Amino acid sequence: MGTGFTIDTPLRVAKYGISSVVSLVDDTLIEQMRQYHCEQAGEPYTAIARQDEDARARRITGYLDLLDRLIARQVDELQTSPFAPDSDITRYYEMLPDRAPIKQVYLDMLQTDDPVRRAALQQTLRTHAVPGTIDVNIMTKLDRVNYRHGEELGPEYTDALAALRGYALSTVSSSIIFSAGINKRLYSYLARFDDFFPDSNGITKKKIVLKVSDYRSAEIQGKFLAKHGLWVAEFRVESGLNCGGHAFASKGFLLGPILEEFKRKKGELTDKLHAVYAKAAAGLGRFVHDGPQDMRITVQGGIGTAAEDRLMLQHYDVDGTGWGTPFLLVPEAINIDEAHLRKLLNVTSEDVYLSDSSPLGVPFWNLRTSASEEARRRRIREGKPGSSCPKGHISNNTEFTRIPICLASRTYQKKRLAQLQEEGHPPALLEKMQEGIVVKSCICHDLAGCVTLKAGIDTHATPAVCCGPNIVNFRRVATLEEMVGHIYGRISLLAKAGRPHMFVREIGLFIDYLRSELEKISAGVLSRAPGYLQETRENLIQGIEYYQQHSRQLAEEQAEQFFQELKNMHEKLAALPLGET
């Protein structure tokens, strides 16, 4: 969800028992939001300047502590509110799924005529109205080295480690989610903080969640952490391409077969990791449970209907699902300015594209019509490509400078474009190479624009929007109740019938990705290891065959349509002219 969209979502939804994730990338935005919400709540605010000692970590700690305090107040008010039609506690229980055991207690309370029994049930409901958690995310690749007066600070002051420290020292009890692969220095640093270990009662205040692409990644990363006496409470499986933000193609491994492996091997994975974890934790003198702790397997990426949600929970036995992109049309839950909300309501499949915009060099889902993209194109027309790079969290290039700079920065693009002119490339190739340079966007700053513009913090912000392709299936603004109702199958918010199954859509995205890679290779701006594309296609074909074998279980009454769509995808894959690439 970028940096700004959910920066204060816990304040909007946690009191209703809904957990959400705050990105820890942008500490400038975090400090701005701390000031904003202190002012809104009448809390005292003392600024933490960027040049202050350990400013990044302290800003994060201060903001999370503020959220924790404010949500505690909200929950107190909710628990004491009357069970009236429009009260927060009524809203809390009305939104719960019917399968939740406590929902039956609520329904019993509504139906009883006995005032004593009603009062007792209401008291039970008040104590069970617990908040969702203030979870946080660190993208492990964003671990910029920081400098002061031109001198490199120590490793504990890199972006990722400072963010981790800020979270670890906060009062919140929640989960930290690591995405984008292993960062050994960061993972090792976790062991410095007591909150990531069970206390004497076996309770872990801060839990570790890893976002992974497949079973092998879960096993490798889980073992690394287990060797440090750290337990992974959840592996969050995400579709390689059918997601928002950064996308990871993963050589064509499809979500269904990946989940099938987790389902088959979850017990084995739990036992393997517990054996390593228990030995390491005991060696550190830490509390060790008698048996393996709970390990959740969850999934996200492209889920768009209640039927697909049930498929994940019931057929693949996952412990939870994640929904992101559709919530961009729920303004009471996330931050989005009015102009971009209107753009999303009218978005087409051409507007949402897998771009080369990210300075990380990873494919990135982008909204072509966003103010950020319009500003980038305008700078190119004016002969001033590149961003002023106000935050620099993706500064990792030292091709022209001693201190790393960002590929989206004006400094880098100016120097690299000048270098290209001197290299004497053929005109057609030169043009493609130039496009590959100026396409990089200032996402670490512009992904905050949706909230800084709306809150009046930066009236000149040019927001970027990183919605996933699933956004095209939704066409109207929804309330929180409506979106929750859509997830649980009470209503449908789909714009039209005929939306492809999430598994079919993922295959289609991979085919589009292969075509794009072929075009870049043909243009001479990309090289791939021999056999990479063929291997990706073979993995996709194997995934299609798996889906075909299980079509009745996976698509139920739409099984025939599902099978035919898979057949069409197989034919499209076979027709791709991959050659020996």
In order, the DSSP letters of 421-457 are HHHT--HHHHHHHHHHHHT---HHHHTTHHHHHHTTS
SS3 state of residue 127: helix
What's the pLDDT at 250? 86
State the average pLDDT over residues 27-46: 98
What's the pLDDT at 2? 85
Q: Express each pLDDT in 336-395 by its tens digit.
A: 999 999 999 999 999 999 999 999 999 999 999 999 999 999 999 999 999 999 999 999
Which among 15, 58, 22, 16 is positioned nearest to 451, based on CA atoms?
Answer: 22
Side chain identity at 310, as an amino acid letter?
A: R
pLDDT band at 557 (very low <50, low <70, confident <90, very high): confident
Judge residue 205's burial from the number of C-beta atoms within 10 Å of its C-beta, 0-12 exposed, 13-18 middle, 19 or more buried.
Answer: middle
State the average pLDDT over residues 203-215: 98
Region label for 42, one of left (φ > 0), alpha (ψ between -120 and 50) or beta (otherwise):
left
Q: What share of the chain is helix, strand, coil (3-state, %, to 5)?
A: 50, 10, 40
What's the pLDDT at 556? 83
- For residues 83 and 339, give the distance between their C-alpha atoms in angstroms, rounded to a whole number: 37
What's the pLDDT at 580? 59
Which among 164, 142, 163 is positioned nearest to 30, based on CA atoms?
Answer: 163
Distances 85 to 90, 94, 263 between C-alpha atoms, Å: 6, 10, 42
What's the pLDDT at 581? 56
579 has pLDDT over 80: no
- For residues 113 and 107, give the distance between their C-alpha atoms in angstroms, rounded to a whole number: 12
Query: Is 450 in contact with 465 (CB distance < 8 Å)?
Result: yes
Query: Is 206 in contact with 176 (CB distance < 8 Å)?
Result: yes
What b-and-e string marks burial along 86-123, b requiring 16 or more CB atoms within 10 Å of the CB? eebbbbbbebbeeeeebbeebeebeeeeeeeebeebee
- For residues 289 and 175, give the distance between their C-alpha atoms in angstroms, rounded to a whole number: 19
SS3 state of residue 479: coil
What's the pLDDT at 491? 97
What's the pLDDT at 258? 98
22 has pLDDT over 70: yes
Q: Centre a 10 Å sphere on the Cβ of residue 66 and count the other Cβ atoms it contains.
A: 22
Token digits of residue 205: 């205040």
- For residues 293 and 281, give the distance between their C-alpha atoms in angstroms, rounded to a whole number: 13
Token digits of residue 570: 């197989």
Q: Express each pLDDT in 561-573 by its tens digit.
A: 999 999 999 999 9
State the average pLDDT over residues 164-179: 98
Which among 419, 541, 559 is positioned nearest to 501, based on CA atoms?
Answer: 559
Residue the block writes with tokens 């009603």: 118
Q: Express each pLDDT in 429-479 by its tens digit.
A: 999 999 999 999 999 999 999 999 999 999 999 999 999 999 999 999 999
497 has pLDDT over 60: yes
Contacts of 137 (CB under 8 A, 6+ apart): 21, 22, 23, 24, 176, 177, 178, 179
Which among 538, 503, 476, 511 is positioned nearest to 354, based on CA atoms?
Answer: 511
DSSP state of 516: H
- For residues 239 and 216, give the distance between their C-alpha atoms in angstroms, rounded to a whole number: 15
The pTM (predicted TM-score) of the whole model is 0.97
- For residues 245 and 238, give the distance between their C-alpha atoms in angstroms, rounded to a whole number: 12
Token digits of residue 169: 């020292």
- For residues 514 and 334, give the distance between their C-alpha atoms in angstroms, rounded to a whole number: 33
DSSP state of 119: H
- For residues 41 and 466, give the distance between their C-alpha atoms in angstroms, rounded to a whole number: 30
Answer positive or negative: Cα dihedral of 362, 365, 368, 374: negative
What's the pLDDT at 496? 87
What's the pLDDT at 1? 67
Long-range contacts of 318-325 (CB under 8 A, 24+ apart): 318/237, 318/259, 318/262, 319/234, 320/296, 322/236, 322/298, 323/483, 323/487, 324/1, 324/243, 324/244, 324/300, 324/468, 325/244, 325/467, 325/468, 325/470, 325/471
Q: Express each pLDDT in 44-101 by its tens digit.
A: 999 999 999 999 999 999 999 999 999 999 999 999 999 999 999 999 999 999 999 9
- For residues 443 and 364, give the distance between their C-alpha atoms in angstroms, rounded to a whole number: 10
- Give the strand pairing for 232-238 and 296-300: parallel
The pLDDT mean for the chain works out to 97
Radius of gyration, CA atoms only, the chain: 25
SS3 state of residue 159: helix
